[in-house]
Amino acid sequence: MKSKIIKKGFRLVPTILVTSLSLTGVLVGIYLHEAIDNPASIIIPFILPVIGLIIAVLLTMKLARIINY
């Protein structure tokens, strides 16, 4: 029973991490693009979600090591 709960949680947590960090990156990037008002700042909304995705993958790998998945 405990193993099933851990596996379901392991599917849910990375999904939430990727979604929330990517969405936060996009929203902050769009805000910064509007605030900076520089043509070069158009790349910010694309870079911040990638950084969020990398952070989510690293946290997922750490979680997998902790629960020995």
Tens-digit pLDDT profile for residues 29-56: 888 888 887 777 788 778 888 888 888 8
Candidates 19, 65, 28; CA nearest to 46 is: 28
Alpha carbons 41 and 47: distance in angstroms, whole number: 10
Which two three-digit tokens encode residue 68? 């020995």
pLDDT above 90: percentage of residues in the chain: 0
44: which residues sit within 8 A by CB, 6+ positions away? Answer: 29, 32, 33, 36
Please state the domain extents for the chain: 18-67
Q: In this predicted structure, what is the pLDDT of residue 40?
A: 74
Q: In this predicted structure, what is the pLDDT of residue 55?
A: 84
Question: Is the pLDDT reported for residue 1 higher than 70?
Answer: no
Q: In this predicted structure, what is the pLDDT of residue 24?
A: 83
Alpha carbons 14 and 8: distance in angstroms, whole number: 11
Residue with tokens 């805000």: 31
